[in-house]
């Protein structure tokens, strides 16, 4: 078993590790990126077990960030035993000054710390020892854990940005990034909810707050994070619109609109909700409902409607909104603005899902095939062939003229 790959057998032993075991193994000083020898307690256990335990707890640690911004993230960093913590802190501070979101910086820390923990497991105690092979081992490690290709690509991009920063500082060799590492991500279709399933879901929602939330997600196409961050002052019931000042994902502001049934549900919730709360949706003892709370609520309704096996998520409601609008004939450019996409190419994915013209043309042609109405086999369009030959000849002559000039 190599040190670069973490076997399933090691992962099974994680649950048997006593909670009192220390994972401290490196001492850090401002002027030294290399660590000292691990202490006796940590050294008595296999390094693979210690490092998987450490990295598996990293995300939970980072998810409970204090409310004091960057200092809270750096506090979590100081509690993690990895090499080169001073360089990591310098990088995170630089990203903060560049106005990256705190959530993005938190995800950067997860990717970087997981990588450095794996490097430490391989016996390397400072950033100067990092090689290109360590990047490959990190990719394999994430794949072995069963992470999605999109997650692997996102973490790899975060890590490459960190290493690029260290290359510019002269800490890491430029050979580490001499060739591109690309993770192929499947170009899958967005998963939208079927009309029958949508009706089933709405039929089982009896809570006033939850019905308003689900209907707004279905009718506006908002991301769940955007809706949870929406304040009462952002909603215009008369004009049936919500102003999103800064989108959660790409920081693009936009205006979305909602239907009459969503407005009625929202009015019913307004009559019941606490007017002192700034956010539209809040939880018990909180000013704002959390994503975890919204997700649990949604899963309970899916189970109640016998839709749990369909694999629907809260984000599927956004896909359902986009697909429904396209089926109703809304232009792609208009849908792009409503969804807050930077590029129309992102919106075009929904056209692949809902292209009625392509569907009609296919069944029209297939009907001719089934009725035996096609005239022989494929024939070359002579007129089209002549046009293509003229175009090719023109390109060749243009090239010759350019070379002679």
Give 402 or 128, the one with higher predicted confidence. 128
DSSP states of 22-84 = -------BTTB-S--PPPHHHHTS-HHHHHHHHHHHHHHHHHT--SSTHHHHHHHHHHS--TT
Q: For residue 263, tell me if it sits in a domain.
A: yes
132 lies in the same domain as 273: no
Whole-angstrom distance, CA of residue 320 vs CA of residue 219: 9
Q: Are residues 121 and 247 in the same domain?
A: no
Whether the per-residue pLDDT at 65 is higher than 70: the answer is no
Neighbours of 74 (CB within 10 A): 18
Reported as a pLDDT band with limits 50, 70 and 90, residue 380 is: low
> SS3 of 231, please?
strand
Residue 342 sits in a domain of what CATH number? 1.10.443.10
Instruction: Find the Cα–Cα–Cα–Cα dihedral 80, 82, 83, 86, rounded to 10°.
Output: -20
Query: What is the tally of structural domains in the chain?
Result: 2
Cα distances from 273 to residues 10, 259, 278, in angstroms, run 50, 21, 11
Q: What is the pLDDT of residues 262-315, one digit of tens each?
A: 999 999 999 999 999 999 999 888 889 999 999 999 999 999 999 999 999 999
Same domain, 127 and 256: no
Among 49-53, 232-236, 370-374, which is the least confidently predicted range? Answer: 49-53
Dihedral, 371, 373, 375, 376 alpha carbons, nearest 10: 10
Does residue 29 surpass a pLDDT of 80?
A: no
Pairing of strands 235-236, 254-257: unpaired
Coil/strand/helix, residue 109: helix
Neighbours of 13 (CB within 10 A): 15
379 found inside a domain: no
Q: Burial code of 17-56, b = ≥16 C-beta within 10 A, e = fewer?
A: eeeeeebebbebeeeebbbeebeeebeebebbbbbbbbbe
Structure tokens at 78: 């100081």
20-24, 317-321, 374-378 — which one is most confidently predicted on average? 317-321
**Statement: residue 77 has pLDDT above 90:** yes
Q: Is there a domain that residue 187 lies in?
A: no
Q: Is residue 382 part of a domain?
A: no
Residues 89 and 228 in one domain: no
Residues 224 and 97 in one domain: no
**The domain boundary residue, chosen from 177, 210, 245:** 177
Residue 314 counted as domain residue: yes
Q: Is residue 386 included in any domain, yes or no?
A: no
22 and 154 share a domain?
yes
Q: What pLDDT is recorded for position 10?
A: 33
Instruction: Report the C-alpha gap between 171 and 260 in whole angstroms.
Output: 59
**Mean pLDDT highest for which of 68-82, 251-265, 300-314?**
300-314
* Nearest of 268, 314, 320 to residue 294 by alpha carbon: 314
Dihedral sign for Cα atoms in the order 127, 128, 134, 136: positive
Q: What is the DSSP letter of 193?
A: P
Per-residue burial over 124-153, b if 16 or more Cβ lie within 10 Å, else e, is: bbbbebbeeebbebbbbbbeeeeeeeeebb
Mean pLDDT for the stretch of residues 115-133: 93
Same domain, 124 and 256: no
Tell me the β-bridge partners of 194. Answer: none
Is the model's pLDDT at 24 over the cut of 60?
Answer: no
- Residue 190 inside a domain? The answer is no
The domain in which residue 222 lies consists of 195-356
pLDDT at 403 over 70: no
Q: Determine the average pLDDT of the residues in 45-58.
A: 48
338 and 244 in a common domain: yes
| Position 393 in a domain | no
Distance CA 311, CA 372 (A): 41
pLDDT in tens, 181-205: 888 888 778 889 999 999 999 999 9
The stretch 361-373 carries a mean pLDDT of: 82
* 257, β-bridge pairs: 241
If asked whether residues 171 and 203 sit together in one domain, one would say no
Cα 262-264-270 angle, rounded to 5 deg: 100
pTM attached to this predicted model: 0.65
Is residue 244 located within the same domain as residue 108? Answer: no
Which of 143, 177, 211 is where one domain is finished?
Answer: 177
Contact between 141 and 4 under an 8 Å Cβ cutoff? The reply is yes
Does residue 172 share a domain with residue 203?
Answer: no
What are the Cα distances from residue 41, in Å, to 15, 87, 120, 126, 128? 18, 27, 17, 22, 27
Q: Which of 150, 177, 204 represents a domain boundary (last residue)?
A: 177
pLDDT at 7: 38
Are 24 and 171 in a shared domain?
Answer: yes
pLDDT 10s digits, 288-300: 999 999 999 999 9
List beta partners, residue 236: 241
């Amino acid at each position: 078993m190599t040190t670069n790959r973490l076997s399933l057998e090691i992962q099974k032993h994680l649950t048997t590790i006593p909670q009192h075991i220390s994972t401290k193994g490196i001492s850090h000083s401002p002027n030294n990126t290399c660590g000292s020898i691990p202490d006796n307690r940590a050294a008595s256990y296999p390094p693979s077990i210690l490092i998987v335990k450490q990295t598996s707890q990293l995300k939970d640690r980072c998810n409970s960030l204090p409310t004091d911004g960057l200092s809270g993230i750096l506090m979590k960093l100081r509690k993690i035993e990895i090499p080169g913590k001073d360089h990591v802190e310098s990088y995170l501070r630089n990203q903060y000054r560049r106005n990256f979101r705190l959530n993005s910086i938190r995800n950067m820390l997860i990717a970087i710390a997981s990588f450095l923990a794996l490097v430490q497991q391989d016996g390397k105690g400072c950033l100067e020892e990092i090689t290109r092979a360590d990047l490959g081992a990190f990719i394999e490690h994430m794949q072995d854990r069963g992470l999605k290709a999109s997650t692997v690509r996102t973490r790899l991009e975060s890590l490459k940005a960190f290493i690029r920063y260290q290359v510019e500082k002269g800490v890491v060799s430029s050979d580490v990034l001499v060739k591109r590492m690309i993770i192929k991500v499947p170009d899958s279709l967005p998963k939208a909810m079927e009309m029958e399933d949508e009706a089933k879901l709405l039929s089982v929602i009896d809570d006033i707050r939850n019905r308003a939330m689900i209907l707004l997600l279905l009718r506006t196409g908002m991301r769940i994070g955007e809706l949870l961050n929406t304040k009462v002052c952002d909603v215009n019931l008369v004009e049936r619109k919500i102003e999103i000042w800064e989108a959660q994902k790409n920081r693009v502001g936009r205006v979305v609109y909602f239907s009459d049934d969503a407005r009625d549900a929202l009015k019913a919730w307004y009559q019941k909700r606490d007017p002192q709360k700034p956010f539209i949706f809040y939880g018990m003892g909180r000013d704002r409902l959390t994503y975890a709370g919204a997700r649990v609520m949604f899963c309970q309704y899916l189970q109640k409607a016998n839709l749990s096996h369909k694999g629907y998520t809260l984000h599927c409601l956004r896909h359902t909104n986009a697909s429904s609008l396209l089926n109703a004939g809304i232009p792609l450019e208009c849908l792009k603005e409503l969804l807050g996409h930077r590029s129309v190419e992102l919106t075009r994915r929904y056209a692949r899902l809902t292209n009625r013209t392509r569907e009609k043309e296919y069944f029209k042609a297939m009907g001719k095939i089934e009725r035996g109405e096609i005239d022989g086999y494929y024939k070359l369009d002579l007129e089209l062939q002549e046009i293509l030959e003229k175009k090719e000849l023109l390109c060749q002559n243009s090239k010759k003229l350019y070379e002679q000039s």
